[in-house]
Amino acid sequence: MSTSSPHERSNDPYPALRRQLHRTYLLRSTLGLLEWDQQTGLPPEAAGLRSEQSSLLAELAHEAFTSDETRATLEALEASDPSPTDDSAVVARLVRRDYDRATRLPTRFVREKTEHLNLAYHAWSRSRAKDDFAQFAPFLKKNLELAREEASLQGWESNPYDYHIDLHDPGVTANKVESLFRQLKEPLLELVGRILEGSPAPASSLFNGFSESAQERCARLATEAIGFDYRRGRLDRSLHPFCSGDGQDTRLTTRFHPDNPLDSLFSSLHEAGHGLYCQGLPADEVATPLGEAVGMAIHESQSRLWENQVGRSRAFWTHFAPIYRRHFPEQLRDVSDDELLRAVNRVSLNPIRVDSDEVTYNLHIMLRFELEQALFSGDLEVEALPAEWNRLSLDLIGLQPANDAEGVLQDIHWSGGAFGYFPSYTLGNLIAAQLWYKALEILPGLEESLAKGDFSPLLEWLRNTIHRHGRRFDTEELVTLATGQGISTEPLLRYLKERYVPAGVSGRSVGSV
């Protein structure tokens, strides 16, 4: 928040509310930093202490946001009856939504939930390392109980899963997701079949001995090239790549494997896509809803667009292949540009979601969506989850994981109580494809500029179309505003077909833009 606001007048409730929101923002961003640290550098024996620290900060942030002072100021702002399109009216409407949600949760509940989620994260981490689902099961059960209790406290007891989807993507319901996934499923399965039939996977020994330090330099160069500002961010390593923080301090993480260098590169591009969204939100609104992301589907559309539509394109590799080769002259000596691009656009069946390609990825999300629906409806017990996971995996993805560590325990989300989050990934893929075609239509010469390493026209367009609005519009409203239509499956299917099944070239899955 800026310290000298043009709205500043004594008795004016708007600047007063902004000051109060700023205090909550400071507490929440400190909590976010502790959570980042928990996943990047916390010594295992410090988990108990961190759990206490995090719950104290969560409690203070909750108290600051729900204080009598905030309520009185919000009421005064509402009573001043600003014009509905004024920033102050938009902020009042969104703070009211958040305030009502936060005050329906007693401090006791918030504390219990935060403490339990910290323990559940460590239980998941241990249980995954030992491939022992039974160790994690009681924590997951409790997470589900807390999730149902929260929905019920919020007045969503009859449709708790909708509540959790809405938390991530305002305005989106399980019915909406189900309908989109129904339209996507058959054409996607058919497409995967066609691609796999015609495309022998490249030899897995194509990449060997890529040093971590050179991989790290490439990740940094690629993310800087697309516009990530390292004066306001950094890149570290973690078990599961993520992006946290806000536009003032944006934390990206990735991971390195010497024989799988594309993993660190593409997770860095993905997380930097999230980071670009954070850095593009209005800086002077950092503590208000106008400086926050709409939700996870829009967030994912940003990360997917940079990772896939841009990062896997021939245009991007026209620019980046020479840089990559400079860092790995020996390792890439016998790899042609076409082979490199084929590896970048490789489609294969994989039991692990985060290791899967952009085509089959959506099948992983459909699996999780079905399981979450069944867990919330009570049709599925936690004990039966691993078997059901394996059955659906065979049904949708065409293979079974070798064990639970590679199956039901592979994701961090449920350990953190993040139910209703998975659908956002595929919604993000749908929206990314919609934005991509709109950008191609609006920006003449876009691919030529990408091939020259100039990513600024696309970033500028995204800043103007998506980033600058903060939470002013709900998920689907923003998509409609940006692309002229609501969330739709056709652009993604068209994009996957065009990139992976080029017209007139049967049986090759070469990326071609």
Shortest separation between residue 278's beta carbon and Zn ion, angstroms: 12
Residue nearest to Zn ion (CB): 303
Q: Which is nearer to Zn ion, 136 or 436 (CB)?
A: 436
Q: Which residues of 405-415 are buried (b: 16+ CB within 10 A; e: fewer)?
A: bbbbbbbbbbb
Shortest separation between residue 410's beta carbon and Zn ion, angstroms: 15
Q: Which is nearer to Zn ion, 303 or 318 (CB)?
A: 303
- Taking phi over 0 as left and psi of -120 to 50 as alpha, with beta for the rest, 171 belongs to left
Which stretch in 95-103, 295-303, 469-477, 492-500 sits in contact with Zn ion by CB under 5 A?
Answer: 295-303
Q: Which is nearer to Zn ion, 73 or 429 (CB)?
A: 429
Q: Which residues contact 236 (CB under 8 A, 6 or more apart)?
A: 40, 41, 251, 252, 253
Which stretch in 1-9, 137-145, 167-175, 303-311 sits in contact with Zn ion by CB under 5 A?
Answer: 303-311
Q: What are phi and psi of 338, to 5 degrees?
A: -65, -40
Which stretch in 170-178, 301-309, 460-468, 496-504 sits in contact with Zn ion by CB under 5 A?
Answer: 301-309
Q: Which is nearer to Zn ion, 303 or 429 (CB)?
A: 303
Q: How many chain residues touch Zn ion (CB under 5 A)?
A: 1
Shortest separation between residue 274's beta carbon and Zn ion, angstroms: 6
Q: Which two tokens stand for residue 454?
A: 């100039």
Q: Which residues contact 40 (CB under 8 A, 6 or more apart)?
A: 236, 237, 238, 253
* Orientation angle between helical segments 361-377 and 174-198, nearest 10 degrees: 150
Select from 267, 303, 393, 489 the one that contacts Zn ion (CB under 5 A). Answer: 303
Q: Which is nearer to Zn ion, 288 or 410 (CB)?
A: 410
Which three-class secondary structure state does DSSP give residue 161? helix
Which stretch in 83-91, 181-189, 216-224, 298-306 sits in contact with Zn ion by CB under 5 A?
Answer: 298-306
- Rounded Cα distance between 58 and 258, Å, is 39
Instruction: Please identify which of the residues 69, 115, 197, 271 carries the catalytic annotation.
Output: 271
Q: Which two tokens stand for residue 192?
A: 């995967």
CB 360 within 8 A of CB 347: yes
Q: Taking the CB of residue 76, how many other CB atoms lie within 10 A of it?
A: 16
Shortest separation between residue 49's beta carbon and Zn ion, angstroms: 29
Residues 441-500 that bind Zn ion (CB under 5 A): none
Q: Which is nearer to Zn ion, 143 or 303 (CB)?
A: 303
Please say if 388 is a catalytic residue. Answer: no
Q: Which two tokens stand for residue 48?
A: 């108990």
Contact pattern for Zn ion over residues 70 through 99, marking x by CB under 5 A: ------------------------------
Asked whether position 410 contacts Zn ion by CB under 5 A, the answer is no
Shortest separation between residue 44's beta carbon and Zn ion, angstroms: 26
Q: Which two tokens stand for residue 75?
A: 């009421």
Burial status of residue 208 (CB atoms within 10 A of its CB: 0-12, 13-18, 19 or more): exposed
Shortest separation between residue 243's beta carbon and Zn ion, angstroms: 7
- What residue ranges bind Zn ion (CB under 5 A)? 303
Which residues are the active-site residues? 271
